[in-house]
Chain A
Amino acid sequence: MTIRTMLVTAALLLPLSGCATGAKYTEVASTLPPLASSQGRIYFYRPSAFGAAVQPAINLNGQKVGTAKPHGFYFVDRAPGNYEVTAATETEKKLTFTLEPSQERFVRLRIQMGVMVGRIVPELVDKADAERELGKLSFIPDPLK
């Protein structure tokens, strides 16, 4: 095993480094700003701390909206239309979906480990499943910071 491999492995196995902290979804859900009827809302969340060192930028239609912070969630409001989510990792898996007015979409950011590095796979999740996972996650009010 090379030194680089060992360092990467060690970094990936640090379970709680760089996890989101702060108010939980259950505490802030009722205080989030209402969604304008002409917009849709897209939530991004990463429920697992596995591979916590891998925190790539998350792009929505090519524009950075945040990072894949473990145990954190954030959202963006956007006009209805077609959207593409990608994570800036070595290998890229993109997710495409539609957004309608007043619709909420939930994108789970799942880590998938490879030989040398992990990558983030964005998955479209239905609201019931997402809310079960969101409950214990921390709100990231300014995901671009």
Chain B
Amino acid sequence: MSLRGGLCVALSALGLVACAPEVVRRPTQLTSVAEQAKDTIEIGETVPVSVGPGYRRVIRRGSLWTRIGRSVEGEVFKPVDGVFTVEGAQIHEAYLVLAGDRLVGFYLPVERAFAPVGDGKEIRLSIRRRPP
């Protein structure tokens, strides 16, 4: 382990996470859907997800998400009456990006970027679709 790596581990163990790397992301373009086409999904089972280097979040059972658009990576769903963030060196508001019922990553609305799921493994979600 390098000196820098060792220092990061030591500081992390002490509660300092200043060494946490940025959330991996790349620019993407969101194409919005018409208001009347914004269908909603409900999550059927709580799912823990890796959202950044060393950080986890939970997508809660019963939470509602509205489809607001599409990017090249998938359909983009924004939380209804809730918030969702991903975290690395910084914390970013994030929406879900789904390909069918698979969670492939997150859309960061401020950065206009796509961040793949933390460990690179897509996650199948239990979802119920509600029409617009």
Residues A112 and B15 in contact, CB atoms below 8 Å apart: yes
Residues B16 and A115 in contact, CB atoms below 8 Å apart: yes
Residues of B within 8 A of A96 (CB): 90-93, 108, 110-111
Query: Residue A124 contacts which of B11, B16, B85 (CB distance < 8 angstroms)?
Result: B85
Q: Which of A111-145 contact B (CB under 8 A)?
A: 112-115, 121-127
Q: Which residue of A lies closest to B88 (CB)?
A: A93
Residues A93 and B90 in contact, CB atoms below 8 Å apart: yes
A-B contacts at CB below 8 angstroms, number = 56
Q: Does B33 contact A (CB under 8 A)?
A: no
Q: Does B1 contact A (CB under 8 A)?
A: no
Q: Does B47 contact A (CB under 8 A)?
A: no
Q: A93-B90, A93-B91, A124-B91 are in contact. Are A98 and B110 (CB under 8 A)?
A: yes
Once bound together, how far apart are the Cα atoms of A84 and B92, in whole Å? 9
Q: Which residue of A lies closest to B15 (CB)?
A: A113
Residues of A within 8 A of B83 (CB): 97, 124-126
Q: Does B58 contact A (CB under 8 A)?
A: no
Q: Does A26 contact B (CB under 8 A)?
A: no
Q: Does B27 contact A (CB under 8 A)?
A: no
Q: Does A63 contact B (CB under 8 A)?
A: no
Chain B nearest CB from A82 CB (Å) reads: 4
Q: Which residue of B lies closest to A94 (CB)?
A: B90
5 sample A-B contacts, Cβ–Cβ < 8 Å, listed by A number: A93-B17, A96-B93, A98-B93, A113-B15, A121-B91
- Which positions in B face A, CB cutoff 8 Å? 11, 14-18, 79, 81-83, 85, 89-93, 108-111
Q: Beyond the given A97-B83, A123-B85, could you list 12 further A-B residue pairs with CB under 8 A, ordered by the A residue number?
A: A82-B110, A93-B17, A93-B89, A94-B91, A97-B92, A98-B93, A98-B109, A115-B11, A115-B16, A122-B91, A124-B91, A126-B81
- Which positions in A face B, CB cutoff 8 Å? 82-84, 91, 93-98, 112-115, 121-127
